[in-house]
Structure 1
């Protein structure tokens, strides 16, 4: 199964008026790239789009009952689903790993969701959430591998290409692959995708090398938002239909890119979101001279005190 541009268009209609159309900043510095400022989305993260699409579709179908929805998350998906649940009057239960950033856990609770901290990494929280859904009847909202969630994320790609049809390349970060799968659907046949992952949790890169999704170790500075153990099936289907340029970056390169985003643009990117920009600042991806590149900065749920200013 693969999410298509038609699915993305349907998601755009469903969530219209509920999400922000975030700005696409034109090139202004030496890097010569457009910046899609999705960190300005509700909850400071792109996942709000997929959360609205998932819950609205589930309400339309009658899938959501008294137990509401349940989601497992490293932090951002839970934050988005909790926010949307509050907006729609739906009960939400969010399972996160014990190491989930306190800033994200506190915000999830502030939206009225019940938070359960389980396990050392996302995979353990995921299994606990699945069990909870089976026992209570809560509708499961996947963090990244669900058609409605993927199609909602894809509306970002549609906006980029609507606002600047001449864009050749969209650079984005990959964890479980929901964002990648959605934007790949929106950009299919129109723009190439550069899929950027941390070296310490390369789900898509490893799956492409193996010819199938495989488990990978999870660690590093971006593990809280990009730390899925394996790529989602929808993302794997997307790469089979139109392979992306796969790029790996180091933790040090992510930290440097995050610092540059703050110092040069005053963009408070979280580490996972800075991974996309790191592909360019590190030289891991070098655009052609005339290539028109958009970089997606997809989240800003970070501790502002950790943002360093370059001297």
Structure 2
């Protein structure tokens, strides 16, 4: 469980380490938080820095993570900034471009198994054996609090929006933002119908395993909502809506065509809820949308029917 105070402490820790990403007033009553401009192309850098700084002095083994995507890139970047060793365990199905980027950032990459769960287990074992600091992709208090720092920025930049739409995978972003803005704005989680971890958890009364697939599975393809996200979502009354893959691709194309904003499918998911009517603002409601990631193939930006091939079917979580 995390609170607004935890997010405020995280903001103080990581100040100067992460970018204060801009907010763009798209239309009357609509803002975009441009978090795709963050280091390594996603909000994940915030949590990675907070986790490492909060841990204090680390062993020579440095840090370890399990991720074939944005979380691994963020941990590798933060470790490099502190001169720490970083080891990232990824499934063999991880996107080749992201594995190459991990190595460019100086991380030792371990390919383990076909599914994220196998890479995760190997990373946890490495942490226990070596003393390396384990950085979870989305379900650690310091990770969630770090992600929530963008919510504090958003309140200042957008003049206290009524509602904030965020994409949900494992729920670290939702947990952090909902805690950051508790009592000041409502948070609504937006998910692909093919990766409905929050929606399924709220329906079941607890996080439950879900099958994952679809165009955003490479970044939102968690198979279970994090415990912290569920606790914060239920405490704060966070909402949940679902969108189709077609709506996600159309939103991604619209962001490029209308505003020249390049995002990955997961980064367009929150905006998709507005375009297809999954979320309908009340008259006069002020809405902010978090564009959370931009690790994408630019060649696919203008084609709403072309899904990134590697993301069409997920074999496990890639966070």
- TM-score tier by shorter-chain length is over 0.9
Name the structure 2 match of 1:253. Answer: 247
Q: 1:23 aligned to 2:22?
A: yes
Q: Describe how 1:257-272 pairs up with structure 2 within 5 A.
A: 257-272=251-266
Q: 1:137 aligned to 2:136?
A: no
Name the structure 1 match of 2:40. Answer: 43
Name the structure 2 match of 1:96. Answer: 90
Instruction: Give the Å deviation of 1:28.
Output: 3.5
Q: What's the TM-score, normalizing by structure 2?
A: 0.92
> Which of 52, 58, 76 in structure 2 is aligned with 1:55?
52
Q: Secondary structure at the match of 2:148?
A: helix
Alpha-carbon distance in structure 2 between the residues aligned to 1:283 and 1:271:
18
Name the structure 1 match of 2:285. Answer: 291
Instruction: Give the Å deviation of 1:135.
Output: 2.1
1:167 touches 1:293 (CA, 8 Å); kept in 2?
yes
Instruction: Give the Å deviation of 1:165.
Output: 2.9
Alpha-carbon distance in structure 2 between the residues aligned to 1:107 and 1:88:
18
Q: Secondary structure at the match of 1:36?
A: strand
Instruction: Give the Å deviation of 1:83.
Output: 0.5
Alpha-carbon distance in structure 2 between the residues aligned to 1:250 and 1:309:
16
1:262 touches 1:309 (CA, 8 Å); kept in 2?
no
Q: Describe how 1:160-199 pairs up with structure 2 within 5 A.
A: 160-199=154-193
Q: Secondary structure at the match of 1:268?
A: coil
Q: Secondary structure at the match of 2:137?
A: coil
C-alpha RMSD of matched pairs (Å): 1.3
Structure 1 segments unaligned to the other structure (5+ residues):
none
Matched residue count: 304
Alpha-carbon distance in structure 1 between the residues aligned to 2:160 and 2:224:
33
> Which of 246, 260, 272 in structure 2 is aligned with 1:278?
272
Instruction: Give the Å deviation of 1:99.
Output: 2.1
Name the structure 1 match of 2:80. Answer: 86
Q: Secondary structure at the match of 1:26?
A: strand
1:155 touches 1:183 (CA, 8 Å); kept in 2?
yes
2:68 touches 2:99 (CA, 8 Å); kept in 1?
no
Q: What's the TM-score, normalizing by structure 1?
A: 0.95
Alpha-carbon distance in structure 2 between the residues aligned to 1:275 and 1:126:
26
Superposed structure 1 runs of 4+ greater than 2 Å apart: 117-124
Structure 2 segments unaligned to the other structure (5+ residues):
305-319
Alpha-carbon distance in structure 1 between the residues aligned to 2:27 and 2:238:
26
Q: Describe how 1:200-239 pairs up with structure 2 within 5 A.
A: 200-239=194-233
Instruction: Give the Å deviation of 1:309.
Output: 5.8
Alpha-carbon distance in structure 2 between the residues aligned to 1:174 and 1:219:
14
Alpha-carbon distance in structure 2 between the residues aligned to 1:223 and 1:129:
21
Deviations 1:145-172 (A, max 9, x none): 1111111100000000012233100000
2:179 touches 2:236 (CA, 8 Å); kept in 1?
no
